[in-house]
Structure 1
Amino acid sequence: MNLNEFIQLALAEDIGDGDHTSLSTIPADAQKRARLLVKEPGIVAGVDVAKAIFAVVDSTFTVDVLLPDGASIIPGDIVLTVSGNARNILTAERLVLNCMQRMSGIATYTRQLVNLLEGTRAKLLDTRKTTPNFRICEKMATKIGGAVNHRFGLYDMILIKDNHIDYAGGITAAVTQANAYLKETGRSLRIEVETRNQAEVEEVLRIGKAEQTRVDIILLDNFKPEGIRDMVRLIDGQFVTEASGGINESTLRAYAETGVDYISAGALTHQIKSLDLSLKAY
């Protein structure tokens, strides 16, 4: 789903057979303006999405952006203004706010975590733990906050996790079959393998460099920081490394200091409080 498809579906969900409140109370030719006000400090995200929504609702709108995506905001700030047909401003209002409030909450929390990584080599990754049909916006928000987008969906990477390993009959079998699949289908997707203990890491080290069983990334899942440090030393730069599993604000720095390349956090998108914004006539 691209951004335009998302906007079309979201508007159809909201409008149905018409915005009857606006249709019944506002003259058809009324021209008005509104401004998007900040009511809570944080990082703004979704400005470009708002512009796209306004353009779909009414291509004649005039939208002036005062604060771009990624800007720090405080209560009283004005992010943007919009002017044009009053009915259409009201029709677009809720979708703009729903997207921007959620996205700004995600970007704000992401920036807080990214700041905790300062001075280390580790980069923060988002995950697929997203709201169905809203992933495109949530992934945009994590990137605005300073994280790196992991795979977008099931189609753009091979990530062999514990259930895949168990169903396939082990790491070697799963990796062998994944490489054969890529060869048969002519795809060039990256392969990442989840490991749960040192023995599994050692197994990936044995097979992951062979021509027929390539592996690109080793995922170290549910290791404590000292365990991650030991595995990073064992891997010794032969593969990109990622740490995941129960990592939060209080433990993030300790994981980052292990030398791991990436740290993934589902909390970036599934445990977020939306930022308080409003669209007000003026």
Structure 2
Amino acid sequence: MVEKQIPLVCPTRGERLLGLIITYDIKPGTRKLLIEEIIKALYEIEYTDIKASIYNKREDKAILFLYLTLVKPNIEPEDVIRELKRRVKGINVTYILPQTPLALIDTIGYPLKSGDIRIFAFDEKAINSAFTEMYRRMGATALVILFYIGLYIGKSIVKSYYNTLFGGRVEDVETAFTAFLYLLQALGWGRMEVLKFSDREVVVRARDVIGLLARTSGETQTPGSIDPLTRGLIAGILSEITGRDWRGKEIDFSIRDGETEVVFKYTLV
């Protein structure tokens, strides 16, 4: 597996950062050529250094997001754009600068999407802080709330992505369920594996769930109330796919090589 970076916020680390947004019309046989030309030109312009890039396509337009470091003190963004447009014809270029002394925040790449579906990025520190505060203030009630949040999110994920994954075809339930567990990994939630799938019992192992290591470190954990959100999430997916209600519980928990591992068992209600 390869870590996927989405540079929504780029720390400046004392450097002069510049965000470039480059758009151009897509014509047959030109897309790859123009990307290569742009990257080559930026490397040839000696006063810039590429930090990160994201490529996107919308209808007949190509969109390239680039984060650069200006390595010479007297160079301005307009100088970079002028030189780039001189070297590469047919492109439109705009730019953004850091909004604070410490970071450049991407305010151009909006909305955030996965394919045609709009998504929202939420970091694990914020998730952990919210969960910790819920536990502190609400006790066991927080566990119930998190389970039901997960349950209905799981159901909604199936409704949102089913046609994307399978078109108009009704897929075999085990195949569909496994595909949606892969989707949870693609969405960044954790790595899921089906250990058992039958008409009345399903067992799933969830590894490296986002934020769970920080929430469970330093304490002895007993399966039962470790991760109600993921338990609900999987239950929601399972229920929506099968059209039946399932009851889930945690049956095992461990931390191995710096990763959490929770095993959930679901039985038909």
TM-score, length-scaled by structure 1: 0.28
Choose between structure 1 and 2 for higher RCO, CA contacts under 8 A separated by at least 6 residues.
Answer: 1
Greater share of residues in helix: 1
More strand by share: 2
